[in-house]
Structure 1
Amino acid sequence: MGSNGNIPANLPIFDGKNWDQWCSKMRVIFNFQEVGDYVDGGYAQLGENPTEAQRTAHKAAKKNDQKALFYIHQCVNSKVFDKISESKTSKEAWDLLTKYYGGDSKVKKVRLQSLRRQYELLQMKSDESIADYLSRLGSFTSQMKSNGEDLTEQSIVEKVLRTLTPKFDMIVVAIEETKDLSQLKLEDLQSTLEARELRVTDREAETEIERALMAQSKKGSFDDKKKKWKKGKFKSQKENFSSKEKSDLEDRPEPSSTRGGDSRKFSGKKKTTDRSQVQCFRCEKFGHYAYEYKKFRGGSNKGKTPKKAEEEANLVQDDSDSDPVMLMATTCESGKDSEVWYF
């Protein structure tokens, strides 16, 4: 804390909240500046016909009182200052602040009842550290003491031991069996509990790391098995598909079962067929396909069936992979030999 002319640089500012905490800090400042007595009891006024010594003592007392009043003014914000701006002495200003924010006896009793209820229900949270919990507990005990509650250190120690989380059960039993709670200091209890907390935290961290590594190992093993299973399943499906396809091709009927058909379009591979069983759609003769009709016919009308030309059905097919197209020929009533083709 720096100072300028014996004035602390960082003074506690009271904003209407945490009166007990601010009051404790101000008491320390008053005692350090040797003006605490003037804040509590004020100073005597001069009587009639004072002596020189009395005048000198009164002047020094008034100076110290104004010094205390100055600290009070410097340690409150503007809203609080408005309540004490008319005060002439430090005692008068302090009494006003105590009345506004400290409360009278009735207010203290009501406040104390509320603090007692909260104190009894106070428990350590699962995610709370020992230091944080004891700090929270200390705030309650300070407020209760400032409102007139008489709390012994033994009662606070017992409160701590019965409100810890289950992970401290073993150390609590050990303390109760080996320590005299009436002689145990709160700071000693805190150091013992913090050492236990550190040990438990380290073990929990190691356990979490082991669990993470085990889970990662299991996941990697599972992924490997899954990949192998998928690979084996795909290979099995591929083999089954290949064998099934091969079986289908082998079981597919020969082109001879199709009248005048072309085996090149329907077979998966080139096969040797018995042409003596193949019948042409055009001439209805055996030994060739319909697309080979002209070749076997020799380009003439030899081998033509006795059927009349107008009643003849013709199949036109090329060497492409397109579907065959059936064409039909008919004659007109006029007697002309011209043919009309319908698609």
Structure 2
Amino acid sequence: MMYQGIPENVLLSIAENKSVKAAWEVIKTLCQGAEQVKKAQVQTLKTEFEALCMNESDQLDDFYLKLNGLASNIRALGEEIKESYIVKKLLRAMPTRFLQITSTIEQFGDLDKITVKEAMGSLKAHDERIKGNGESTDSKLLLTEEEWRKRESNESKLLFTREEWQNRSNKTNDGKPSFMRNRDKCRVRCFNCSLYGHFASECRKLK
């Protein structure tokens, strides 16, 4: 009866035993060893599951596949893992760009009743809104950069400080700002060449 209820690899291990008791002790030892290996594997998977975090550059779907794959492997080894536990881990593992939606789910949702699919649906909707805003922002930035380049070609300088704009607006008929006419420039230090006696706008060295 014992021979009929065990697999072939175990049968080879107990073939040399002459009593039922001795054979049973071998089977017991083998099963205990397999159980210990299974527990060790579960602990390793749980540690990896807890340490898993999504980076800013990661895709949401790819991260979910990793997280769900670890949870499936843990369950396959006979360890129970609740869906609410996966949902809480999913929210904790999100990067900062999901902070608003994760905080909303945690504050106003019942984490013990929310399914993983529902949580993923909210996260994906939020991610799509972020991508939409990012595309419009990029186009605005490109337009602004183009405008600044036009100004650079016209003014030979890309950016101006407030003081420089005020100085340009206070230019007199001779082409010099009013504060430069009656001021001794012996203590004036050029911000372009670091020498004294002239302003950066008057400097002849390459900017």
TM-score clears 0.5: yes
Higher RCO (C-alpha 8 Å, min separation 6): 2
Separation in structure 1 between the aligned mates of residue 58 and residue 72 of structure 2, nearest angstrom: 20
2:147 to 205, 217, 242: 217
Letter of the structure 1 residue corresponding to residue 128 of structure 2: L
What are the equivalent positions in structure 2 for 1:179-328 lying under 5 Å apart?
A: 179-226=109-156
Tell me the secondary structure at the aligned position of residue 126 of structure 1: coil
Are 1:161 and 2:91 counterparts?
A: yes
Q: What's the TM-score once normalised by structure 2's chain length?
A: 0.58
Are 1:113 and 2:46 counterparts?
A: no
Equivalent residue number for residue 54 of structure 2: 124
Q: What's the TM-score once normalised by structure 1's chain length?
A: 0.35
Tell me the secondary structure at the aligned position of residue 150 of structure 1: coil
Separation in structure 2 between the aligned mates of residue 129 and residue 148 of structure 1, nearest angstrom: 30
Equivalent residue number for residue 143 of structure 1: 73
Return 5+ residue gaps in structure 1 as ranges: 1-43, 45-90, 94-102, 228-343
Letter of the structure 2 residue corresponding to residue 142 of structure 1: S
Return 5+ residue gaps in structure 2 as ranges: 10-32, 158-207
Which has the larger helix fraction? 2
Separation in structure 2 between the aligned mates of residue 224 and residue 92 of structure 1, nearest angstrom: 87
Equivalent residue number for residue 176 of structure 2: none
What is the root-mean-square deviation in Å for CA atoms of aligned residues?
A: 2.1
Tell me the secondary structure at the aligned position of residue 156 of structure 2: helix
Percent identity, aligned pairs only, is: 26
Letter of the structure 1 residue corresponding to residue 80 of structure 2: D
Separation in structure 2 between the aligned mates of residue 226 and residue 105 of structure 1, nearest angstrom: 76
Q: Report deviation, 1:222.
A: 0.4
Equivalent residue number for residue 172 of structure 1: 102
How big is each residue's C-alpha offset from its partner over 1:22-44, in whole Å with a ceiling of 9 and x where there is no partner? xxxxxxxxxxxxxxxxxxxxxx9
Separation in structure 2 between the aligned mates of residue 223 and residue 144 of structure 1, nearest angstrom: 63
Are 1:152 and 2:82 counterparts?
A: yes
Separation in structure 2 between the aligned mates of residue 149 and residue 124 of structure 1, nearest angstrom: 24
Q: Report deviation, 1:187.
A: 0.6
